[in-house]
């Protein structure tokens, strides 16, 4: 399954973020405990799969283009449903069964996946929304850095800036990216 391969092995993914945080002795306790930004990187890796699979000699070339695209679209649909069901359960007071039914009717995934996800929503309110907000902010910061640095923009350096400090609040992340941009310009 190419999408899982990307999530688990993409150089800016979950494992790199974990290892960056593990290496930080000066990281405050709470960010070391709260690792929510790692799932944001998973969303970023999913999105990046589109770019990766268009490169020649990609390890993902084994599967057909249409099956890769189906997998990507299925994951995007799944994440969209996560936003709906998370909100439905905690704001609209949906029942567990309503959440499961929504997933079952709107995704290609098996019902067991829907059950697990709804149970996750029940105990982790707002998680799906938080992940998506983090993904959007990282992509926004990437685009801002790309525009400000032009040809000097290096995606690897951007990833280092985002990952080096581990999970941080988004306003802190924005400050770190702005500092990096200022240093790169001078």
The model's pTM is 0.65
Per-residue pLDDT, 54: 45
pLDDT of residue 96: 97
Please state at what angle helix 127-149 crosses helix 170-185, rounded to 10 degrees: 10
pLDDT of residue 179: 97
Mean pLDDT over each residue of the chain, to the nearest integer? 78
Percent residues over pLDDT 70 in the chain:
66
Q: How many CA atoms lie within 13 A of 66 on its CB side?
A: 0
Count of CB atoms within 10 A of residue 172's CB?
12
Q: What is the pLDDT of residues 3-36, one digit of tens each?
A: 444 444 444 444 445 555 555 555 544 444 344 4
Distance (Å) of CA 161 to CA 45, 71, 117? 16, 30, 32
Per-residue confidence (pLDDT) for residue 8, from 0 to 100: 47
Q: How far is CA 6 from CA 59, 70, 84, 164, in A?
A: 10, 15, 25, 20
Q: Quick: pLDDT tens for 57-85.
A: 444 444 567 777 888 888 899 999 999 99
């Amino acid at each position: 399954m190419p999408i899982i391969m990307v999530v688990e092995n993409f150089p800016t993914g979950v494992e790199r973020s974990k290892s960056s945080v593990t290496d930080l002795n000066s990281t405050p306790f709470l960010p070391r405990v709260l690792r929510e930004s790692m799932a944001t990187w998973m969303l970023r890796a999913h999105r990046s799969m589109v770019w990766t699979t268009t490169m020649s000699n990609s390890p993902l070339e084994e599967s057909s283009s249409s099956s890769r695209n189906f997998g990507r679209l299925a994951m995007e649909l799944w994440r969209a449903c996560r936003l709906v069901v998370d909100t439905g359960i905690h704001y609209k007071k949906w029942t567990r069964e309503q959440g499961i039914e929504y997933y079952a009717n709107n995704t290609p995934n098996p019902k067991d996946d829907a059950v697990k996800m709804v149970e996750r929503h029940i105990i982790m309110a707002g998680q799906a929304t938080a992940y998506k907000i983090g993904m959007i902010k990282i992509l926004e910061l990437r685009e801002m850095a790309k525009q400000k640095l032009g040809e000097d923009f290096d995606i690897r350096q951007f990833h280092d800036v985002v990952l080096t400090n581990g999970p941080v609040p988004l306003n802190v992340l924005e400050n770190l990216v702005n500092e990096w941009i200022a240093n790169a310009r001078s």
